[in-house]
A and B are shown apart, each in its own frame.
Chain A
């Protein structure tokens, strides 16, 4: 047997990156060095300096401030998306897995249909029907994420529902809802946690992609994806404009996936 370390190196690096990111995001909520919509015509496309840590964009707005705000937007959207997906997915998965029957059959077929649909595509349908904007993106991505959670939780419930401890609880007359949420649900946590982490990363990437296409967070509000899209015109004269928002997306995803890796290995 391999000697067990409490935390792998990956986990520690992931924790550090995620920690730094969270601090930056929190700072962005409370305070940004500059107003994110303030334009300074003397600083158009200024290079990174002590005054503007990441330089300025084509309107002379401070990129660092906008990156902080954009990270906050991406983060809240990702959290909301995963929350919708996880809560609905857990409920659907728990009931279908525990009770089975025709409802299970029907819901799982619907699940397959939604699952077969790429999440960005579903979001595009949503946006074309209800219009662009943050909340529509959250709703669309949230719905797109339900099937994967439902499927995982359902599998876990099918595994546990005939185990002895559940049978004895049933014989002791414990109500069904209590068996589902108090007896079985905690056992699904390890699996659920790692899929929440993977889901979070997918949400960050999906949100960035949607904002890049111009259908997520709307200007003048800042978002990492829309900054990347704007930066492309100035790629040659101001490569840092593209580099910093992109780097932040990478770090957010990298930190979390390292954490998720360390987490699954420990389970």
Chain B
């Protein structure tokens, strides 16, 4: 419990720190929020009135805490460009990006586990060499180029899906899944390669330890030793990697959304950046950072479940 408590405290501090830094960054930017909202032909009086209304005349810390409380309540402010609440812009897009990240994560775990175990079990044989060579190349492919290749081969040559023919999850959930499975594979492949490599070397490393010999000498066969003993220890560094990839996948889906023409969070983020629509940019960035930090926290907890030896000191 002490462990969870300490991790929880660290997480909350990090969350506060990030929200403060992002708010500060967007507060000191050159340019005036009121001017940005009203345009250059605004009168000085209306500018002053809007500044008063937005609370821009108050001290920084006061504004930060007010903004923070509003944020926690789900009030993310109003878009400069579209003059609608940011929450309304994001709420229908968030599921797309989150589902994509989760599906990619799922694909990664399901595919990398068996391949990693297989290569570790057969290390040194030709199948292992072949898989590891392919693996090494896959690790070097940027996921958006993987996306382009998948578009070309599966979309244009094999015609398994229509590039650009995104279906909203609200109208047709199966069609939505059938489309996003391809970008998700593109996100997952480089990560699969990394986890296979790590799982393989981790298994081989564990198999050299004394307890494995003991387990064998007690009459266990290879599979029993592997699944009951070796894997439990070998999986720990892989879980760390998976925890870190969760963040990458969320950010990765922002990039991959552009490859596959998916109107998710990434699209809003990029257009908002080009319009300098700061409330939207700020909200999305903080939301993503929150998800990343919370998932890191979950990994820390899962960690201790897998390996109770990990304690506060580590």
Contact = CB atoms under 8 A, between A and B. Distances in A.
A215 B272 CA distance: 13
Contact of A242 (B21, B152, B269, B273): B152
A215 B255 CA distance: 12
A125 B136 contact: no
A166 interface: no
A110 B289 CA distance: 15
Contact of A236 (B22, B156, B292): B156
Interface stretch (B82-90, B138-146, B210-218): B138-146
Contact of B292 (A10, A116, A201): A116
Contacts of A127: 273
A113 B18 contact: yes
B144 A124 contact: no
A202 B175 CA distance: 34
Contacts of B273: 124, 127-128, 215
A109 B17 CA distance: 9
B148 A125 contact: no
A212 B247 CA distance: 20
Interface in A240-267: 242, 246, 249-251, 253-254, 257-258
B109 interface: no
B21 A113 contact: yes
Interface residues of A, number: 39
A236 B156 CA distance: 7
Given A254-B137, A254-B140, A128 B281 contact: yes
Contacts of B26: 129
Interface in B270-314: 270, 272-273, 276, 278, 281, 285, 288-289, 292-293, 296
Interface in B45-59: none
B144 A112 contact: no
B25 interface: yes
B248 A208 contact: no
A86 B193 CA distance: 27
B233 interface: no
A209 interface: yes
B145 A228 contact: yes
Contacts of B276: 128
A215 to B, nearest CB: 7
22 contacts: A10-B136, A109-B14, A109-B17, A117-B289, A118-B292, A121-B288, A121-B289, A124-B281, A124-B285, A125-B285, A129-B25, A129-B26, A201-B140, A208-B145, A215-B273, A232-B259, A235-B148, A235-B152, A249-B140, A249-B141, A254-B137, A257-B140
Given A118-B247, A121-B251, A121-B285, 16 more contacts: A113-B14, A125-B281, A129-B26, A208-B142, A209-B144, A212-B258, A213-B258, A215-B270, A228-B144, A231-B148, A235-B152, A239-B152, A242-B149, A249-B142, A251-B140, A253-B139
Interface of B: 10, 13-14, 17-18, 21-22, 25-26, 29, 136-137, 139-142, 144-145, 148-149, 151-152, 156, 163, 247-248, 250-251, 254-255, 258-259, 269-270, 272-273, 276, 278, 281, 285, 288-289, 292-293, 296
Interface of A: 10, 109-110, 112-113, 116-118, 120-121, 124-125, 127-129, 201, 205, 208-209, 212-215, 228-229, 231-232, 235-236, 239, 242, 246, 249-251, 253-254, 257-258
